[in-house]
């Protein structure tokens, strides 16, 4: 089996290395001679240094599509619509696709499932969520026999690193972000991480799988950590909480919820000690009960390893499909999310019914509240008058 | 595909229920009509109440062996040698075997691997370690591409429940054990749990898999929690530690270690918050780095769910074999385990070189020590004069 890569960045290089170095083992495990034949890149002029010196680098995708030897394409760009067209064309040419690209899977999940079925090819995307953590395959194995009623995860290493730093060292957000960038845990442009969009994409994929319906990106409630400040962390810490950016999907009776927001965690939770760039994903099924997976959510080798295992599953015809997925959109009831919350509100805008307040703190410009159980929608009403960057909220677990 | 069960206790009933209730889904997923046909039991007179009313209960194993319709046998007894003969005969009759029985897998792992290959049948044993946690399949998927250098787990829910109880309520061992028994977390005869033998068996299976060699039960260092008392927990707690019974396997350069013993854990560890009957298993590979799996280590439905997934893997021809397993025995270097330790020694026997002592406490009859880094063998020498039930040790992490 010849393989083509789309993209030759950090992950692409890792995949090429692992396929090359494990050639003999892969042969043993699959009875197939698997190697990377062609790599699609934008800049043909750039010098490349693959392990397999026979690899052809091309900027012509047709060279891959028309090559009948190539059975599987591994897509590892960070594009969205562009990646979708690549994958669509690949399916259309009868090629299996493996992707690590959460943007394209999150935007086009149902279309991709549909097209891969239509063209009778395999489509695997383990590395799109949780890097080296094999969460998707595990869910797909559990799903047919388990009514999975909830999923919850620390899905973004950058945010978790920043929050851990702020908690440990009482630093401000900007300093912790800078440190994350210096250490390579955050991109030069960290927007999609800190606003929660990266977590949102992963949650969209996970929610859609466990609920067997389309969970649209724009229907998931999203509140990132970009507006956090040191006082939030400190006040929560004094009350015994650590803050984590979570993506959560829940089914309660006939209602479904899916949201990304900061959550204040108590120290008896398994999530409490998941610090730094580590990811954790938990789900709960009726037979298996609660299971959690902890591991490296990103990085060249963990991610490449997940891709390699997808490749083996395709070669061994072990690829598992999503069970009974319904393309219809799931109606979420996020307006009914009821919980205790931590809130920070500028004093000028403070207008809150005392009966919902459990604890109240003041800093120079802000009021900080721990609420009783209250609807999220009520809080958002209150905040509608406040400028987006002047307030902060966190669910209290 | 017709299936036979050996045993119809708690797990057997769960397996029968899940196969019956998921009949249609299993059919969809495997394109095979799978049902339980026959169950081997000891007491034919006892009234049984299976979901599938057509099941035949028999005490004649030949009825199963000679039945050509039966392709797979699920062995769920708690026997050791007896189970081995059942499985051997099943292989010999061309039948696949799934077992949840850690005793037989731990005692005969290499023989079972060899015989299943010889007779060209499948042999799966996911439920023998960690109940509903799918740890074995995950390791088998990672193993070919990862030099797995360590594994570590809280593998016994009974011990973890007792230790959590003692820590939370400052109770004595016997009271916590009694409570565990009342709540169904401990057997009427808890010997194999509290002495660490159950953990030892699971560790033997896991160590053998990750090191690709036979790790003999009697070569693994074993120290259980049956001799613990409330003072141990209290002193460790005051120093910031929680105690967990761990099974660990480690490779350091060319040396291998495998041991079951109480380990004192700091609060920044993921293991720290794994309380009650929950299990956690972590391993570390060179590509995937550290991954941890948390879940229910026992119970009817989690365990039956693992068995069901094994059954599906057999029906779909997805069963993964141990990679490159060598039947030769692995030489362990447990005498070279060097660590800080917590020790409790009767005053009468106290004879310890001060230079190895970090901290020292006294209770009425005992000396309690926190050592500097020291060889385990040195401690065992010291203890050789002391009666087994009068001392206690824990590794400090």
Per-residue model confidence as pLDDT tens digits over B162-173: 999 999 999 999
Is residue B108 domain-shared with residue B20, that is, in the same domain?
Answer: yes
Residue A197 and residue A68 share a domain: no
> What's the angle, vertex CA A156, arms to CA A152 and CA A161, rounded to 5?
115
- For residue B316, list chain A residues with Cβ-Cβ distance below 8 A: 318
CA dist list (Å): B179 to A235, B112, B183, B195, B275? 38, 38, 6, 18, 15
- Tell me the average pLDDT of chain A: 95
* Whether residues A203 and A247 fall in one domain: yes
Is residue A81 a part of any domain in this protein?
A: yes
CATH number of the domain encompassing residue B361: 3.30.70
Name which of B145, B292, B305 is nearest A305 (Cβ-Cβ): B145
Q: What is the predicted pLDDT for the residue at B352?
A: 79
Point out the residue among A270, A289, A309 whose CB comes nearest to the CB of B274: A270
Q: Tell me the average pLDDT of chain B.
A: 95
Examine the domain organization and report whether A250 and A328 are in the same domain.
yes
Residues of chain B found within 8 Å of residue A305, distances taken between Cβ atoms: 142, 145-146, 285, 287-288
Q: Does some domain include residue A231?
A: yes
Q: Residue B336 pLDDT > 90, yes or no?
A: yes
Does residue B313 lie in a domain region? no
B386: confidence class by pLDDT, cuts 50, 70, 90: confident
Residue B385 has pLDDT above 90, yes or no: no
Of B270, B273, B296, which has the smallest distance from its Cβ to A268's Cβ? B273
Cα–Cα distance for residue pair A167/B208, rounded to 1 Å: 41
Mean pLDDT value of segment A209-218: 96
The domain that holds B195 is classified in CATH as 3.30.360.10
Same domain? For B165 and B249 the reply is yes
**pLDDT value at A387 more than 90:** no
Nearest CA to CA, how far is A292 from chain B (Å)?
5
**How high is the pLDDT of residue A57?**
97
Last residue of a domain, one of B67, B89, B124: B124
Q: B323 vs A29: CB contact, 8 Å cut-off?
A: yes
Q: What integer is the mean pLDDT of A59-75?
A: 98
Nearest CB neighbour to A287, from listed B146, B282, B305: B305
The verdict on B167 and B195 lying in the same domain is yes
| pLDDT on residue B137 | 96
Q: Given A124, A147, A168, which residue is the final one in a domain?
A: A124
Please give the pLDDT value at position A66.
98
Partners of B256 in beta bridges: B251
What is this model's ipTM? Answer: 0.94
With cut-offs at 50, 70 and 90, classify the pLDDT of residue A129: very high
- Identify whether A275 is part of a domain: yes
Mean pLDDT of A63-72: 98
Q: Which pLDDT score, from 0 to 100, does residue B195 have?
A: 97
Task: Check CB contact under 8 Å for B288 and A302.
Answer: yes
CB pairs A-B closer than 8 Å:
133
The CA distance from A142 to the nearest CA of chain B, in Å, is: 8
Domain count of the fold of chain B = 3
Residue A117 lies in a domain: yes
**What's the pLDDT tens digit per position in A79-103?**
999 999 999 999 999 999 999 999 9
Examine the domain organization and report whether B159 and B189 are in the same domain: yes
- Reported pTM: 0.96
- Residue B2 confidence (pLDDT) above 90: yes
Do A149 and A96 share a structural domain?
A: no
Q: What is the mean pLDDT of residues A215-231?
A: 97
CATH number at residue A53: 3.40.50.720
Whether residue B388 is found in the same domain as residue B349: yes
What range defines the domain where residue A296 resides?
135-334
Q: Is residue B302 part of a domain?
A: no
Contact flag B270-A273 (C-beta cutoff 8 Å): yes
Q: Do the Cβ atoms of B144 and A272 come within 8 Å?
A: no
| Chain B CB contacts of A302 below 8 Å | 287-289
Is the domain of A199 the same as that of A289? yes
Contact B294, B271 (CB under 8 A): no
- Residue B308 and residue A145: Cβ atoms within 8 Å? yes
B308 lies in a domain? Answer: no
Q: Is the pLDDT of residue B348 over 90?
A: no
Compute chain A's Rg from CA coordinates: 22
Please tell me which residue, A9 or B355, carries the higher pLDDT value. A9
Q: What band does A352 get if pLDDT is binned at 50, 70 and 90? A: confident
Q: List, for residues A169-179, the tens digit of each pLDDT value.
A: 999 999 999 99
Mean pLDDT to the nearest integer, A282-299: 95
Pick the last residue of a domain from B124, B143, B177.
B124
pLDDT band at residue B387 under the 50/70/90 scheme:
confident
Chain B CB contacts of A283 under 8 Å are none
Per the model's pLDDT, the better-predicted residue between A384 and B206 turns out to be B206
User: Using 50, 70 and 90 to split pLDDT, how confident is the model at B56?
Assistant: very high
CB distance A308 to B290 below 8 Å = no
Instruction: Determine, yes or no, domain membership for A130.
Output: no
Confidence of residue B76 (pLDDT cuts 50, 70, 90): very high
A chain contacts of residue B291, beta-carbon cutoff 8 Å: 132-133, 293-296
Same domain, B84 and B151: no
Same domain? For B47 and B92 the reply is yes
């Amino acid at each position: 089996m010849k393989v083509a890569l789309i993209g030759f960045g950090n992950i692409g290089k890792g995949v090429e290395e692992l396929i090359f170095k494990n050639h003999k083992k892969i042969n043993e495990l699959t009875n197939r001679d698997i190697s990377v034949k062609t790599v699609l890149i934008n800049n043909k002029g750039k010098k490349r240094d693959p392990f397999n010196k026979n690899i052809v680098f091309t900027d012509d995708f047709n060279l891959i599509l028309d090559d009948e030897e190539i059975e599987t394409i591994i897509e590892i760009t960070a594009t969205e619509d562009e990646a979708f067209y690549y994958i669509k064309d690949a399916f259309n040419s009868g090629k299996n696709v493996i992707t690590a690209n959460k943007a394209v899977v999150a935007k086009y999940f149902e279309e991709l499932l549909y097209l891969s079925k239509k063209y009778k090819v395999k489509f695997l995307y383990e590395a799109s969520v949780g890097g080296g953590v094999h969460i998707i395959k595990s869910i797909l194995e559990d799903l047919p026999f388990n009514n999975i009623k909830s999923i919850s995860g620390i899905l973004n290493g950058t945010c978790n690193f920043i929050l851990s730093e702020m908690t440990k060292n009482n630093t401000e957000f900007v300093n912790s972000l800078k440190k994350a960038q210096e250490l390579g845990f955050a991109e030069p442009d960290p927007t999609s991480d800190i606003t929660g969009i990266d977590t949102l994409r992963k949650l969209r994929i996970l929610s859609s799988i466990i609920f067997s319906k389309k969970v649209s990106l724009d229907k998931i409630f999203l509140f990132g950590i970009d507006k956090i400040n040191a006082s939030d962390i400190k006040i929560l810490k004094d009350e015994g909480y650590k803050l984590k950016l979570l993506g959560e999907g829940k089914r309660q009776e006939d209602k479904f919820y899916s949201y990304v927001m900061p959550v204040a965690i108590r120290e008896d939770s398994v999530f409490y000690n998941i610090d730094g760039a580590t990811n954790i994903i938990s789900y709960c099924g009726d037979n298996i009960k609660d299971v959690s997976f902890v591991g490296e959510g990103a990085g060249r080798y963990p991610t490449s390893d997940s891709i390699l295992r997808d490749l083996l599953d395709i070669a061994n015809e072990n690829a598992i499909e999503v069970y009974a997925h319904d393309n219809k959109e799931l109606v979420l009831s996020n307006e009914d999310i009821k919980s205790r919350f931590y809130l920070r509100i500028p004093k000028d805008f403070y207008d809150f019914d005392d009966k919902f307040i459990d604890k109240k703190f003041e800093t120079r410009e802000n009021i900080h509240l721990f609420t009783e159980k209250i609807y999220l929608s009520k809080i958002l009403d209150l905040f509608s008058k406040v400028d987006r960057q002047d307030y902060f909220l966190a669910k209290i677990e």
